Structure 1
């Protein structure tokens, strides 16, 4: 036992907890970003479900044995050559401590800036920096090349899979003559697809280790060459037929388990919405009786605003870009319009009419018994014409999130209205959402249930696999401290997995809303079908990469899949319902918030560089600074 490094265990435990919190705030937020962005589930429920499933995955399915250095970044043989005799374990202890500190700080900085970055690449970069501080020969440079290639290949593949799946579902269900009937018909197949993907992932990428068994490797003469802990993946590779049988059987059972609650949930949701509609509280919109501003759609897709009051108007000058409030509620949208000729200095006659929302009463009628809904600030840009409808929360939610929407108090993280905040601060959000193609809400209800279930299972998978990013470095520190030497395979105590799982859940609850807002709301207009396609594309690509033995980032894959479905989106004039999509090579480039996408791409590259640089500086200071020799 290295008693002189007792401090490293204590400090490492703190950094492990902080790193887990950073992972929860950044990595895990990607899983439910699409669900919250599409309004399939509220932010509060999403955070609660994600936290619970992350904890279950970490403790119940987390790897109990890990490598001394994650992801094979170092050549341990060369490490022993370039350090003092019998001191390599001390260098690894300091390296793991440096990695925990560096990555934890970076994840919190990235989350505060609302940037979705890769925890895996952050850890690899920090390890590489520590290795460079010892010697460039210690680092596996070929491994770095595979990481760099995954930056391009994995997101492109995910975009292709997500775009193909979304296009197929849009043609088969969402644009069908009877979309609800078609969605009900395809629901069993979609449940099978979700169950099949999840089951294969758990069978072929299971990090569990059989503690009571040891895998034996024999040479061609049948002589035992090596023994090592028996991972579930080792058993799968040696028994492929049985593994496929288990996977298919688990998929069949899981699909049955999923189908019943999803069917019940969907029917109850549709029935409840129809009852609200009959009571005058349905899923359509109305403009509150407050001073209004009008919103126009120009030929180039730009938006504009002009003040329109009950009897007077104050038109903004041409080219004005002031942010203007649009009053919205849970009813139908009252579209007030006025031409420039009608807007006179002394007042004007403002023509107004009711325009149907997705489930409104016949056009031209005024809804009875309507109640005022939420009033939010939606930023739009110059000119004149009409107010566009935006889905809103109920009056109860308004009271809960008043601070987030209207600038009053600061709400708890789980009570924030992310859609209102994003629309208020990011001008592109309102434009993208207003023009995006809308589908029958009854058909979307089926995808909302599927999307929520798949996101919960994604958190379970993430907890089982990625908890090692926080637990493994600390487990290595603890093992070196106890054994006085490094081991290629290190046991991970259950309490370390619990520490990592709890910290992930806490970080998600406190800071996860920032990245959820970025990937689920600001990047593109997200709805339930798009979100479902994104999640399935992520699983498909991850399973394929895992089967091929490639190290990829689920964060990069998720962003790539979102851009893929966004490029296949179509824009429609909200009044003429004509397709006004401006395509380039068949892709709708205007459906993506490209400045934000560019910011994310820069953060991906910066992650590896910053973590590598920070790791190098800290490790150099640790091993080369003056010290006192007690021997």
Structure 2
């Protein structure tokens, strides 16, 4: 009788306990989702306090503190969106883990920003608007504040929808919108704007073509050779040396140029010197790594892992050196104008402003960067170490070509365009290459599985016959292409309209 009476109570108690467990699990899941936004808000507060310690009692201290928090918000968004282009291909190619990529990028982004971030920056993004035309210093501060808020909001939206966009173009749009609202259309240098608009096309096209050329070379000279290992020993050191020389010129031109004045010819000489030294070292390393390797594509990929890791680090360093100005340039302009009560086209960036920018980019990458890293590295097209190597190499070479021709360029558009180029080239090559088909026929591949029971990638490509299957499994995903291109096209006008609205609101309440 006692057992019968207590049994229902035990069952009810168990059910109640189960409900509590489920509630705790749900609460824990929700709490984990709030950690990143909570830390971001804490960083904004700390940035404001940090700015206050340097400007307490000075003219315009309240405005500067508010601007510091907004600049920190902008830096967080740059880290969340733009840095994915540097490490995404290496992560997608499985050359490094996501955690390792976040660590490397955070360290080298910070180092690039603090070491080579520059002492002077154009506060109006390369002369897009005339500061004198804006009017009073108070109006200029409101214009820079509107540009900072609008560009940060737009990048935040782009990150949310999964579209890597140019942070430079976002700032440009914000500056244009605020300038037009403050001083009219005549205040904008439309010749400069035409050059920036041209970079929307130039950057991804050049990046895609260069990446496709290198991938075509790798396929022809190494992958579809009968003796892959011998071919790799001959050509992989050359490719690594080209990458090292390109990055040396890249850093000299776009990164270290902030520390010392380096001419284009000097940067090319630096690149040639690094090429020669790297070829010798890579020749020894590749020969040692390739000893005992099987004559298969999977073996070749291991030779590209270390170069990919190094390229991700160098791209992050150069990005930190260049793009930190997008976060702190308008902020530096606000600080100078509020303190001196005058408007100047160029100003010195205080160290505390640079620290906020560098810390914000790194923190934004760690907190919100994984989404875009996966998008760039895995969801646009399938990458392996050789394809990712072509993307990284294209990014460095394209910047050098564009700098030599005097063309404005976007690192985001270049890197993503290179991924597009790799993917679209694979589509064409799979469908049209007679050399590839002759090679597979000569090797006797008849849609069988290789000896260890794993399907070889080239066999899988030959087995794929339907267009739907091709689009689904291995080539460029059109839905991502459409989303990204649409975000690129609308970045400047959207940021401009948003900035104009914010400026008019700030002007109204002032």
Q: Which category of TM-score, normalised to the shorter sequence, fits these structures?
A: 0.7 to 0.9
Q: For 2:88 and 2:311, how far apart are their aligned partners in 1?
A: 12
Deviation at 1:104, TM superposition (A): 1.8
Distance 1:622 1:262, change over 3 A: farther
**Structure whose residues are more often strand by fraction:** 1
Deviation at 1:4, TM superposition (A): 5.5
Deviation at 1:581, TM superposition (A): 6.7
Partner of 1:518: 375
Deviation at 1:258, TM superposition (A): 6.9
Partner of 1:115: 163
Partner of 2:20: none
Q: For 1:444 and 1:626, how far apart are their aligned partners in 2?
A: 60
2:462 pairs with 1:579: yes
Deviation at 1:562, TM superposition (A): 0.9
Deviation at 1:260, TM superposition (A): 7.0
Q: For 1:506 and 1:261, how far apart are their aligned partners in 2?
A: 35
Partner of 2:49: none
Q: Could you say what secondary structure the match of 1:90 adopts?
A: helix
Q: 2:219 aligned to 166, 170, 175, which one?
A: 170
Q: For 1:619 and 1:491, how far apart are their aligned partners in 2?
A: 25
Deviation at 1:137, TM superposition (A): 0.8
Partner of 1:622: 506
Superposition map of 1:133-212 within 5 A: 133-134=181-182, 135-206=184-255, 208-209=257-258
2:56 pairs with 1:32: no
> Residues 121-176 of structure 1, C-alpha deviation per residue, up to 9 Å, x if partnerless?
11111111101102111111222222222222321221111111101111111222
Partner of 2:28: none
> Residues 558-603 of structure 1, C-alpha deviation per residue, up to 9 Å, x if partnerless?
221111111222389964837367799xx99982100111011111
Partner of 2:41: none
Superposition map of 1:396-475 within 5 A: 440-475=297-332
Partner of 2:62: 7
Q: 1:17 aligned to 72, 80, 84, which one?
A: 72
Deviation at 1:526, TM superposition (A): 0.9
Deviation at 1:254, TM superposition (A): 5.7
Q: For 1:131 and 1:196, how far apart are their aligned partners in 2?
A: 41
8 Å CA contact 1:147–1:551 kept in 2: the answer is yes
Distance 1:612 1:595, change over 3 A: same
Q: 1:73 aligned to 106, 125, 128, which one?
A: 128
8 Å CA contact 1:195–1:252 kept in 2: the answer is no
Deviation at 1:496, TM superposition (A): 2.2
Q: For 2:317 and 2:282, how far apart are their aligned partners in 1?
A: 15
> Residues 202-239 of structure 1, C-alpha deviation per residue, up to 9 Å, x if partnerless?
223346446xxxxxxxxxxxxxxxxxxxx624xx26xx
Q: For 1:4 and 1:493, how far apart are their aligned partners in 2?
A: 16
**For this pair of structures, how many residues does the alignment match?**
425
Deviation at 1:115, TM superposition (A): 1.4
2:248 pairs with 1:248: no
TM-score by length of 1: 0.62
Deviation at 1:609, TM superposition (A): 2.1
Superposition map of 1:124-523 within 5 A: 124-134=172-182, 135-206=184-255, 208-209=257-258, 232-233=261-262, 236=263, 240=265, 242=266, 244-253=268-277, 266=289, 440-523=297-380
Gaps of 5+ in 2: 1-54, 432-436, 438-445, 450-458
8 Å CA contact 1:191–1:259 kept in 2: the answer is no
> Residues 93-112 of structure 1, C-alpha deviation per residue, up to 9 Å, x if partnerless?
22222222222222222212
Q: For 1:499 and 1:478, how far apart are their aligned partners in 2?
A: 13
Gaps of 5+ in 1: 211-230, 275-357, 360-438
> Residues 32-77 of structure 1, C-alpha deviation per residue, up to 9 Å, x if partnerless?
1111111111111111111111111111111111112112211345
Partner of 1:609: 493
Partner of 2:99: 44
Partner of 1:436: none
Q: For 1:92 and 1:133, how far apart are their aligned partners in 2?
A: 11
Deviation at 1:249, TM superposition (A): 3.1
Distance 1:178 1:260, change over 3 A: closer
Deviation at 1:255, TM superposition (A): 5.7
Q: CA RMSD in A?
A: 3.0
Distance 1:518 1:190, change over 3 A: same
Q: For 2:283 and 2:109, how far apart are their aligned partners in 1?
A: 23
More divergent stretch after superposition (551-560 vs 123-132) = 551-560
Q: For 1:147 and 1:538, how far apart are their aligned partners in 2?
A: 18
Q: For 1:58 and 1:243, how far apart are their aligned partners in 2?
A: 20
Q: For 1:588 and 1:161, how far apart are their aligned partners in 2?
A: 23
Which structure has the bigger radius of gyration? 1
